[in-house]
Amino acid sequence: MSDEIETKLNELEINSMYVGALSNISMEALLQFNIPGDRYAISSIRLFLGKYHALPCLLTCMSGTDRKLLHVTTILEYLCDEFKHDLNTDLITGNYNAQTNQMDISARFCDLKNGIMLEFQDIYLNPGVLNPNQLKADKSDDGFSIAQTITIYYLPHQMPSVSELCKSFYKMTVLSPEPSITFTLHMVCRNQGGYYLSCITIKKPLITDLALYYGNDFVSVHEKIIKSLNTLENKGIVLLHGIPGSGKTHYIRYLIHEIQGKTLIYVPPDMAKEISSPDFLPFLMQYPDSILIIEDAENIIKDRNESSFPSQAVANLLNLSDGLLGDAMHQQIVATFNCDLTTIDPALLRKGRLIANYEFNKLDLENSKILSEKLGFGTKNITEPMTLAEIYNQND
């Protein structure tokens, strides 16, 4: 036992201030202590009693906090570096894996020999995680050894150190994926009987920081869009445009999960021309206070003055977004397109009709690197501004 620990224990014995001090009890009596609720053959508290002649204080770190999962291997490497801990002195519990001919460790007990002991409990291998901290995987299939719980047993004077230790552990984590969140979108279809809606399920993308994915200037635009689309009996049009791969569809997937209490009607690119049909508006009248999402809408929003055969689709969109029909139906429109803004009908941009107009582009170099790092690709391949599609598909 180190001189420092011996000194602390002597102080406990002399002053009898620490309620857990048991320095006057024999080792035999200590080992006969009944610890209720023990799950393991060898009691962790008995081990602490035998070493330090005192009942330990306890602090528990648990996986799952903010989706963070405690990575055992990284934490053990940290203990070896910071406390000169020898892993060969650990008490290990495990099961033999006949498939791999190796031991699968399920629990681990460490003594840092400074009045602190740690117990890694319910250790398991998890390949289905996100790795924003770029930790080294334990298996070739990107499996990470996770501890469900780390219990820290310690003497009272080590409370500040233990608090810092626990704080450090939560930096050595991988992330569990967000729970699968889906939303039902109503897609416009047509058969011999006319138009009808078919339900499709859309999964919400993992976007934790809009500024990181789309730039700082987009955050206020998004807030304006959400405020308008979540207002009942509202009208107007949102125009989202930009180069292919810049994230317009990715944002639409995110946006639809933020809208509450409204029917979302999706018009796929091959059905967009149907908006000019005389039968389309009567069909839409069945769904007041809904939101119309039109993807790749460039062919139906072009300037009517530039065409020899002006499309009725533009007139219908104008009527829905801010005309008499809009006053009655309270329908809003979200349209995406790739063409230049100067080629669309200027009436769509009129103040009072336009909710928001935003051009998506490549992320700047700094944000491209940050997002690439967050997604686990690193920054080696990021040498210039990139689109979301380019960042997400680096392995291709």
Q: Where are the domains of the chain?
A: 1-179, 184-360
**Cβ atoms of 200 and 266 closer than 8 Å:** yes
Tracing tokens 């330990």 back to the chain, one arrives at 56
Query: Tens of pLDDT along 63-117?
Result: 877 788 999 999 999 999 999 999 999 988 888 877 778 888 888 999 999 999 9
Cα–Cα distance, 396 to 390 (Å, whole number): 9
Q: Name 186's bridge partners.
A: 199, 265
pLDDT of residue 122: 85
Residue stretches of the chain with pLDDT short of 70: 1-42, 140-142, 178-182, 303-311, 321-323, 325-327, 396
Beta strands in 112-249 (DSSP E): 116-126, 144-154, 173-175, 182-191, 194-203, 236-242
Cα–Cα distance, 212 to 219 (Å, whole number): 10
Cα–Cα distance, 55 to 20 (Å, whole number): 5
Q: Which amino acid is at 147?
A: A
pTM attached to this predicted model: 0.54
pLDDT of residue 14: 34
pLDDT of residue 58: 92
State the alpha helices, DSSP H only, in 16-57. Answer: 27-31, 44-52
Task: Using DSSP, state whether 58 is helix, strand or coil.
Answer: strand
Strands 173-175 and 68-71: antiparallel
Query: Count of CB atoms within 10 A of residue 9's CB?
Result: 19
CATH 3.50.50.60 assigned to 184-360? no
Query: Count of CB atoms within 10 A of residue 321's CB?
Result: 25
State the alpha helices, DSSP H only, in 273-335. Answer: 280-284, 312-322, 324-329
Q: Could you tell me the two tokens for 171?
A: 């930096």
pLDDT of residue 23: 61
Q: Name 61's bridge partners.
A: 150
**Count of all residues that appear for the chain in the document:** 396
